[in-house]
Structure 1
Amino acid sequence: MLDANYIRDRIRTVPDWPQPGVQFRDITPLLQDRKSFRVLVDIFVHRYMDQQLDVVAGIDARGFILGAVVAYELNLGFVPIRKKGKLPFQTVSEDYELEYGSATVELHADACKSGDRVLLIDDLIATGGTLLAANRLLNRLGAQVVEAAVIVDLPELGGSRLIAQEQIPLFTVCQFDGH
């Protein structure tokens, strides 16, 4: 796919960050360039413009960038899924494992309602922990994730395989082999 290669070529790899052995896939060059950012947003908007969705949920922090823009373009509301302690109202929380530690995500208890059809967006999928935790949070509120969508898949870390095992549809724009 031409768009996938175009996007992939604009993602920077930062070795050994945030710790030795991790190859961080940095999307900021992609976002900084107006043409690249437009192509990226259009990929998602064209994919979801004819789908029956109620809200877009974006995962802290880079999922906010893409998720909010896609929500706006689709004329939908946006729901932030935040790291623990960042939301000011009553929350539900979920712990999960990262490739280099553990964390907790939270969602406002009134962020969506039972039966809402949600597009869940993040920048990348590594071990799958963040997306799975976000899916569990949304399910606890009675919402259904119609699809999880990311810019980058790191298939060797197994996250996309775990997402598939949970029967959550997953859309990825591009992938990077290795860590």
Structure 2
Amino acid sequence: MALSEKQKMLTGQLYHASCPQLQKEQAANKQWMHRYNNSVELLSQARHGLLAEHFASVGEGVVIRPPFYCDYGYNISVGANTFINFNCVILDVLPVRIGADCQIGPAVQIYTADHPLDLEVRRTGLESGRPVSIGNNVWLGGGAIILPGVTIGDNAVVGAGSVVTRDVPAGAVVVGNPARVKG
């Protein structure tokens, strides 16, 4: 039996995001984002409840300051006591795992979504993804961009504005575009 476009997406294969099932899920996610992003007047417990209803998992004490944007939400897991500042974008066509006790600055972008390099394949509208994993006690400085397939080890620091194109070892400090281990 052939895989659905969603099954292809979730297994990292090339898929069409324009299929009706994924379009329906994106529309539902837009409604959730509208609710979440208009929740600034709510107590943090109520906002936490909105996250818990939509994410794969969300630990106690997680704070995500609206506005927040994602593709689906159900591929995002966030560990306890993690703080995500304003204007975060997570393109979660595959799992995004963020550990506990992380600090994520404003306007950070985390991408699992990817597109084929081959022009002819890209023209067909096919896309794919690679998961992102961020360890415990990681600090992502404001405006950092985490590209598809990256793993960031525990206790690492990513400097503000850095573009992370490859894995970051535990405890490392990386800066720049592309991000490199500092000194």
More helix per residue: 1 or 2? 1
Greater RCO (Cα-Cα under 8 Å, separation 6 or more): 1
TM-score by structure 2 length?
Answer: 0.26
More strand per residue: 1 or 2? 1
The structure with the larger Rg is 2
